[in-house]
């Protein structure tokens, strides 16, 4: 317990409405730990079960928690077009090794409105033949939107895959000005 009587291993969560649907945001005292797309009740419950198993503590719904306040503010500002960069403490404990290395490079090196190819990102982390492994890293990203895996595209100009669905990827890239806004 800390001086406020709070469990140091606490995981708090809230669901935030966005232009791409509800996002579940979860945080620990170390920072934002998870962002989950399409956070309907069923998706949310499954994500919370996974978090509890991975982090060893039951997540607590706490939309007013100081651990989430800045994440909620910045995500809301991003979708309102008022923020281009996230400046949040991140808890990387749900990912390790090569995947963490790739995601950290992505977060630091691919700015708002930019894109990078899977192979280019592999080269940036010193693994030039690992484009497919970069794709796996993108699929295992526990912090989508904030760690912008939507900015990773195919070298031939294709949009590539996306755990949140291709329509979600298109909408995020349109928000950032990379793609035109959909007509309908």
Please name the residue ranges forming H helices in 80-157. Answer: 97-109, 118-124, 131-139
Q: Please tell me the predicted confidence (pLDDT) of residue 102.
A: 97
- pLDDT tens string 6-31: 445 699 999 999 999 999 999 999 99
Terminal CA-CA length for the chain: 51
Which structure tokens are listed for 70? 């800045």
Cα–Cα dist 99/177, whole Å: 27
> Which residues, other chains included, contact 148 with Cβ-Cβ below 8 Å and sequence gap of 6+?
106, 107, 110, 112, 172
Q: Please tell me the predicted confidence (pLDDT) of residue 2.
A: 43
149, 153, 173, 175: the catalytic one is: 149
Q: Is 39 annotated as catalytic?
A: no
Which residue ranges of the chain lie beneath pLDDT 50?
1-7
């Amino acid at each position: 317990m800390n001086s406020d009587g709070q469990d140091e291993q606490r995981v708090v969560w809230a669901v935030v409405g966005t232009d791409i649907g509800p996002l579940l945001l979860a945080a620990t005292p170390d920072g934002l730990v998870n962002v989950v797309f399409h956070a309907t009740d069923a998706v949310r419950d499954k994500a919370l079960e996974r978090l509890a198993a991975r982090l060893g503590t039951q997540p607590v719904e706490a939309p007013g928690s100081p651990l989430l306040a800045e994440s909620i503010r910045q995500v809301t500002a991003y979708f309102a077009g008022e923020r281009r960069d996230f400046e949040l403490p991140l808890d990387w404990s749900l990912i390790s090794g090569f995947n963490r290395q790739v995601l950290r490079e992505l977060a630091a090196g691919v700015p708002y409105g930019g894109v990078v190819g899977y192979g280019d990102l592999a080269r940036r982390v010193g693994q030039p033949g690992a484009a497919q492994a970069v794709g796996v890293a993108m699929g295992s990203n526990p912090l989508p939107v904030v760690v912008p895996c939507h900015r990773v595209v195919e070298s031939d100009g294709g949009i590539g895959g996306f755990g949140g669905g291709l329509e979600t990827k298109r909408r995020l890239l349109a928000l950032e000005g990379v793609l035109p806004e959909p007509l309908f």
